[in-house]
Amino acid sequence: MGILRTIFALAVVFAHLPLCGGLVFVGGRNAVQLFYIISGFLISYVLTERGGYSNFSTFYLSRWLRLYPIYFVILCLTFLVYLAENSDFFNLYRNIPLAADIALVTVNSFLFGQDWIMFSGVENGSLTFMADFTKSDFQLWRGLLVPQAWTLGVEMSFYLIAPFVLPRRRLTVALLLCSLSLRGILIYEGFGGHDPWTYRFFPNELAFFLIGSLVHQILLPLYKKMLGARIESLSCVATCILILCSVFYFVVPVSSVYKTSVLFLFFILFLPLTFIFQNKNGLDRKIGDLSYPIYIGHFLVIYLTDIYFKRLGISDELVITIASVVLSVVLAVGLNRIIGDRVESMRGKLKRRAVKKIDPLPDESMDQLEIGPAQILSRQK
């Protein structure tokens, strides 16, 4: 699961690089929605099997600590870079109405609600809801300092309801059916297949989180019962299959509809096994730790790489692409060492104080398990 999360994070990085045409590995959209499934699985696990989150406030504080510190550092760094290099960013704020300024400052500062900016626009000098944000007089999403963080807004909406929904399987199934039905209705009405409704609208995307939670609650215990002692060896095989499917997805000469369906089907069926594999494999966990900081920091890296490489006379898009990917990984390593590890230590202490029962898994195993566009994303439990 860890290697897969980092592959998905890199797929989003490639999706934002012009040379790649938006599709390397599984592509940006698939990566985000697969992150949602993983997040649903892991949040279901920590809420229904572990004792550290019996108190809702502990759960919410832990989620905030996981996402916000690294996000805040990237937010501040981006602000400083834009002060020096991107006057267009601040011109947007000067030209839009005060209500839009307040909305953007609020969601930038607190993270929650960034996804709803994709359903907002300016029309006749007023902030208004828009079914198609591209028709706005001003593109408000350009006022997001960390624009890819809109997926974290979707994640946080899920976190708000998760403690009340996931322990109740009938309610989980009912909401899943409602979410799938709503997606079908919106597609039938003619706009459900267009951005931003395709994968930014939380009521639609809720289905992916809930599928992940049901995979945890139904398939994981079923596999443990059926496979017995063979489950560890099969978990390695399943993980390798999913890695290969994810890496070579974009070169398979088949219609995207068919290969995407197969990818998601395999992923759902093998997800419990990849979870078991990560529990037993320290290297997989360490690689997975990079997924969230890669995801949250890559936009800034791409921006700086493009500017400064061209100033140095390096205009080759392949060189800029490779440098952007490598530097995104380097930044992720630094963010984890300077911030992530310290935050995880704080979260570990928080959970240990809240634990009400003895868990068969060691604390460190779950501390390394979470993702986002996710969280989508690394170590989001």
pLDDT digits (tens, 9 = 90+) for 91-146: 999 999 999 999 999 999 999 999 999 999 999 999 999 988 889 999 999 999 99
- Tell whether 18 is covered by a domain: yes
- Tell whether 381 is covered by a domain: no
Q: Which of 272-276, 303-307, 369-373 has the lowest mean pLDDT?
A: 369-373
Q: How many folded domains does the chain comprise?
A: 1
pLDDT of residue 129: 94
Q: Element (H or E) spanning 266, and its range?
A: helix 256-280
Backbone angles phi, psi at 98, to 5 degrees: -60, -40
Report helix angle 169-188 to 150-165, nearest 10. 140
Cα distance from N-terminal residue to C-terminal residue, the chain: 13
- Tell whether 125 is covered by a domain: no
Residue 243 has pLDDT above 80, yes or no: yes
Residue 351 has pLDDT above 80, yes or no: no
Of 344 and 300, the structure prediction assigns the larger pLDDT to 300
- Tell whether 272 is covered by a domain: yes
pLDDT of residue 84: 94
- Tell whether 139 is covered by a domain: no
> What value does the mean pLDDT take over residues 259-278?
95
For residue 52, name the pLDDT band (cuts at 50, 70, 90).
low
Measured distance CA(22)–CA(12) in Å, rounded: 8
- Tell whether 250 is covered by a domain: yes
> What value does the mean pLDDT take over residues 200-221?
96
- Tell whether 108 is covered by a domain: no
Q: Which of 14-23, 198-207, 273-282, 302-311 has the lowest mean pLDDT?
A: 14-23
For residue 173, name the pLDDT band (cuts at 50, 70, 90).
very high
Classify residue 107 by its DSSP letter. H
Domain interval for residue 301:
2-83+154-367
Classify residue 359 by its DSSP letter. -
- Tell whether 105 is covered by a domain: no
